[in-house]
Structure formats: C-alpha cells, structure tokens
Structure 1
Amino acid sequence: MNLFPPDNDIRRLSSMLSTKSESSFVMLDCLFYKIANRIPVPTDISDCHKYLSFTESLLMSESSTFITDVCKYNYAKISQIVAQLLPPPKSVSKTYNIPARYHRHLQNGTKTDAVSGWLLYASFYYVTGQFDVTLRLTDYVLSRCSPDMMLKDVDYDCEVHQNCYRKNVHSTMTLNDRMKISTISHVRYIKHSSLIPLELKLEVEDAAINIPPNVISHCLRCLCFHRLGDIFNRQQALRDLYLIVIDNYSITRSHISISLTILGVCYEISGDKDRAYQCYGEALQRNNMLSSLSAEKRISKLDGN
C-alpha cells in the first residue's frame, strides 16, 4: 500500500511547507485534503494493524509537525476501518461501558474531522441497543454540520469554503485541531461493516458506501425513535431527513443516490411503502452504480421477488 502522494503532489507539499506566509497553511491543508482522498485504505484487519504499527513507529521518528499530523490523521482513518472489521458488537451494559478494543479504535477515529468518527460511535451504540446515546451523539453531530464547515471530501477547491476555513482556524493550530474544528466528512461504512444498522445491511452487501453526515444522522434518529416506539419523533426525524435529501444543497451529486435510498429505507420502516418505492426508483435514475444496486434489490423485495 502506498502511504504517500504522487511525486508532483509531494513537490507542491514541499514548496508549501517551506512557505511561511499566514495564508499558505490554508492552501497546504486543502491540498492535503485533496490528496488524502486518493490514498487507498486497507480492508483486511491484518493489513490495518500493520499500517497502524508502521505509523506508530513513524510518529516516534518524525520531527515535522505537519507530517506528524498527517500520520495522526491516517492513523485515525485506519482506526475507523478497524472498528468496523471487528466482530459485531454485543449489547453493552446500562452504564454504557464498551469493550476496550472497540473504544480505542472508535476514539482514535474521531480525530479525522468534526463528525464522521462520532457517527461511527453513534452507529456502535445503535447496533448495541443504546438508542438514547445514539440520539445524543446525533444531536451533537447535527450541531456541528453548519454551512461554514468545510466538507473536506469535496470542498477543498471551493473558495467560499476556503475563506470560511480561514476564519475558523489559524496557523498556530495543529492540522489535527484544524480538522476537528472546521471540517466534516462523509461517513464511510466498509463492505459488511459490523457497525452499520441492521436496516442498512443491504447497502454494504456488495461494497463500501459513503454517506453524508447529515443524512446518516437523521436516519439514525429515525431508526432510534422507531425502535423506541416514539412515532411522533420518528415522523419528525423522517421529515427532517426528507428536507435534507430533497433540498440537497449539502449533498454532492455522487451521493444523491445513496441518500435517496436511505430515505426510502426510513419510509419503508415507517410503513409508507409507496414513498419508499418512489425513493428507490429515483435512486436508480440517479444511477450511482453501487447505491443503485441496493435500490434495485429493495424494489425487488417490495415487488415480492
């Protein structure tokens, strides 16, 4: 696995690292966010542990603050994967204690940005039946998903978001602090993730999926209220999810299909199969290959095939 960006990007990084201007750190950060999206991540737990061990040794020898922060980011990113490769978690006690191996990786995973790691934590508590904790975590996440936050998966080239980023952070902060303060990210559920809600297992049957943070937040809220038998709040959460997906100002074109599919799932569990069918059909029309595949399967199930 290649841990490093292409040579031309390395040269750009080196040039920016040697520049001391106050504005250069924003350009450097955005270039890193762009590069980070290209770096493949392992999906085998043995490879993940090798990666983590290598990164730990690199952190002990690296003197550059920026490179150290990059290593910490990648460590956190892999930790999110490892947490999903562990066996499906069992129900936890009422004191909310969770096994150390889950906690360690989930906690490390919160360091990639302001929300994605916390949403994996929320998913963990959902699949272990601690719905009140999931609801509190999604409340927190939604409070962080403000318009001035940079969606670092796609907004790194957007001048408006770069300016917002510049206003929210400063060069004396570490890269990791800047990411946690001023960036959000899609939540990546790997293929057969042990942390994805049972209701969404079909979506990761064939491949990994990336879900916008506000979409999965409202989805988790809808699922929690459904499990709790709170019909009023379930419908409110479903309405909030509908508005997010239909307005889609914060959803990129490549994520509309999976967002519509998730909206359809929430309609289906609430008993509105007609609207669910419409959502799955529109998801197919948007033709994002992987999410359309699950939408097609869901239409087939509704048709009784």
Structure 2
Amino acid sequence: MRFLTLLTILTLLISNALHAQSTPPKDSTGHKVQADKLFLAGKYQQAKELYEKAKQVPGNENDDYLIMQLENCDKCLGYWRSIQELSKDAEATKVTMAVYEKILDINPKDSTVQATLMTNYWTLAKQRYQQLDFQRAGELFRKVSGYPQSPYTAEARVLADSSDIYAKSLTEGFIAPDVEVPATYASGLKGISNVIANNMKYPDKAAKEKISGKVWLGFIINEKGKVIPESVRVIKGIGGGCDEEAMRLIKLMNNWTPAIKWGKPVRFQNTFGITFSLGKE
C-alpha cells in the first residue's frame, strides 16, 4: 500500500514537471523586454529565441510586433552569414560595407556594426584623401564623424572641411590653400615692370593734386596663368584715379605661370603693389 502511494506521488510529480515544461508561460512581457535588449545589442540569435518563446504564449500567435522582430532577426542573421562569406574575399570590402549598412537600416543602435563601419570608413577616407579623391573622402569623413562616440569625430570634421576646399579647388576653380609652387610671372619682375612702364597713364587728377604712392591690389590667377578680371580689387589705395589705373594694369598681366598643387595647376590668390611717382620736380 505504501509502495502504491509513493508511486502515485512520483507519477504526479513527473506529470507536473512535464506539464510545466510543455506549457508556454502566461505572460510574454519579460521575454519581449529581454529580447528587445538583445536585439538592440546585435545579439540576433538569442533575441530570436526569446521572441519565439513570447510568441508561444496563447494569444500571441499573430502578434504583429513579434512577427516583425522575428523577420528582422532572420534578416540580420542572414546578413551576418553573408558578411562571413564576403570576408573571405579581399576584393569584396565595398559589398561587405553595404551589407553592414543594411543591418543598421534594421537596427540603427547595433554598436558592433557601428564600430566596424566607423573603422572601415575612417581607413577608406584616409586612402581617398591621399589619392586626391577629395569629394569621396569628404563624404566618408562626414560619415565617420556622425557615429556616436567616434574617437575620430574632431579630426574627421576638420578633414571633411579640408576635403571640400580641395575638391572645389580642383573642380570649381576655388583657390587652393598651401600651394606647392606659387604663381610667377613668365618673365619675372622685369616683365611686370615692363607692362607697367609701357602702359601706365598717370591719372590727371593725381598729377594735378600731386598724389603719389603705392596701390596694393589683390587678384586671382587662374589655372591657365590668366588674371581673372572680376577678381582684381584694391587692398590699399591712394585715390586720385590711381586705384583704377592700377587695376587696369593688373588686368593686362596675362602671362603668368600658374600655381601648382598636387602636381596640377590651380587658382592662386596673389597680391602686388604698383607705385605711382611724379618724379623729381
């Protein structure tokens, strides 16, 4: 009799244990919360398992959120498998980075993917910069500076701005800073002096009012060694018509050797002073 009683109790305990294992939990909130945390951390396999458990709770079979998150987990896991395959091919870097971006489209807070992309973009941006592909370099530097907690943010912003300036210098004719070789007049200062001596017309007003001195001008020499007329301006004038005459003379100086930057002709900002002297009376 005692044996039968013990057997009955043991059977009930086993039955209850099996029932507990096979019966889904009544509340899926805990699974959802934990799964969301794992998903945001980029742990998609673990997140998927918890989403599946939450979906087993009666009434959750058609839960739109759980269905969506399970699909997102599958997509991200698929992308990671693709990345693992692509990593075997050294030439597939561009495609690999595009796959990483797809993961971020689904989960923008995936810190692992963010860190990987940030490092890769930083390396690629510096390569583009050294190759003088400034437009692409600027785009990549801006990407790097946009990642949260990026250690390269400050430097990337500076390099992005520099890339923009250099890109415009090459494509839109902006003035390149820090040229390797400045623009020079083809026949040197003697040639400039000849242009001035052969073409200067001392303004009547300046002569009458005995105005003399030096007019300082700024102007831009383009990639072909020509002065851009609309760029000529007076930095410091003396009046009496001398400023206008000095500007006219500068516009006649179109025999410059252009400045060189990155081995290419670029626009160059120049300054020059023209002296007006009445001579000895």
TM-score (norm 2): 0.28
Higher strand share: 2
Instruction: Name which one, 1 or 2, has greater alpha-carbon Rg.
Output: 2
Higher helix share: 1
Q: Of the two structures, which has the highest relative contact order with CA contacts closer than 8 Å and spacing of 6 or more? A: 1
TM-score (norm 1): 0.26
